[in-house]
Structure 1
């Protein structure tokens, strides 16, 4: 073999090594499967995330992507982190994720980014805005303010105390809802803020905290539950105490159970999101990122207040239990 042949052969080997076996996407990290997209919701079997999954599947499959959905059994970063690690091993072109903690998921999600995977946050988001190419969620602070205004309209000029039931500290969406609610509530002097309590996203904890608050605040006139599980638990607590209807319950989200409770007078209002649009928009942004196009960094979707009087005219906002 001549020296020239040897050099050309070495160059060819180097070129082949650099080409890889799949469609390489992005500026860093090795090869990814450019036509595969994964959704990692916050928890399995929850109507909000099922509705988001429906929008995700419809949009991604229509665009020719192979899709996968993997969710933790609880809204818990310790359960979600191993899922992210498993997805990383397969290097899909994009991952849509609802981080269950706004800081604990930063490292695992950055590993996706560093591997060349396009990361889109759906519903919840990290404090670190440098990881995801885009974040799609409801305008949660505005939704909390809408809940407070709706409560004020329901009670009129009556006076009383109001409790906020949040899920877990460090959940970006529900913290924003609580903040918006508290800010708006201050504009209604007849409504006294009884503080915020966390439920660890467990309905039984929400129920017990409602019971305890009723004992401490006999004038309790309203409860704002910042998410689906907390709302369903709060309804149970009021029912057990014989306070259904006497205390106005404002829930967030519109699961089939919550819609049933609204129709039956267990819940007085629901602040419904549009999770299917969140999933669809997340796919659109992921595809744009994969194709190297400009991506809108933050997108906020609409919310709507549902009451018994107008719920049927807004039924498109009811969440699904299956696609």
Structure 2
């Protein structure tokens, strides 16, 4: 045997091993692999195809992949697919197909032409993945995001997301509260400190310093902001940090407390005025009552007959009743003995 013959055998052995590895890889692949002739008739399917579609190899060999059609795609869809692969290009896209049991499923596919040494297309090979569960997850996530966005967009509280580079998001309530448009807020030139009342800037800076040190901060705090038209508003802030360092994002909620605090201060003044009124009223009544009771006691000491004593006792009882009423009015706000 010559050296050239030995080399030829070696090369053929390597080629055979390579073909075996390729065949094993195709056979064991988790993705569906389908090989058709140029008319689309199936010549090969791997076990993954059988597992996913429910069709056995014997049931589909010689048939067209249209057995999987679900009716969800129009003629234009398939025409575009065929025009792409017949022109020698690879088609990438998604199918809604139907399994043997009638169940619809979604798959991501890549279909490529196979060419011989002369460049002539001799087969088509499709590699497909079942992405049904992935699509369901994506749809659920999308629905969840839409619900969350709807809640945020319609919230009465001002909600924002801010990064070290500036605002990333601000809802309509934030625009209403501050008077700035979303375009202004999301601009790179807009600084959060533009909103903070000058006397409260130090408070916020100290919080940011503590945040930067990785220490815990109270979830809620109050400060004043100055709106675009120069009005002062008192807000209650709740913030939460996501991430660390330069990648940190702060989600914040601002609740306008101005009217509530004004109402509380007004109520406090009313209560103080009421207290002062009660004290003044008590002083106004109790002094004369004490004097009257004193005179009655003196009169009773000097009374010479029983009739006079009885009358003085009646007067004393009447004064005591008045005294009880005044006490209830000034202490409890109730007109009763």
Q: When the two structures are superposed, what TM-score results if normalisation uses the length of structure 1?
A: 0.22
Superposition TM-score, scaled by structure 2 size? 0.21
**Structure showing greater relative contact order (alpha-carbon pairs closer than 8 Å, 6 or more residues apart):** 1
Q: Which has the higher helix share?
A: 2
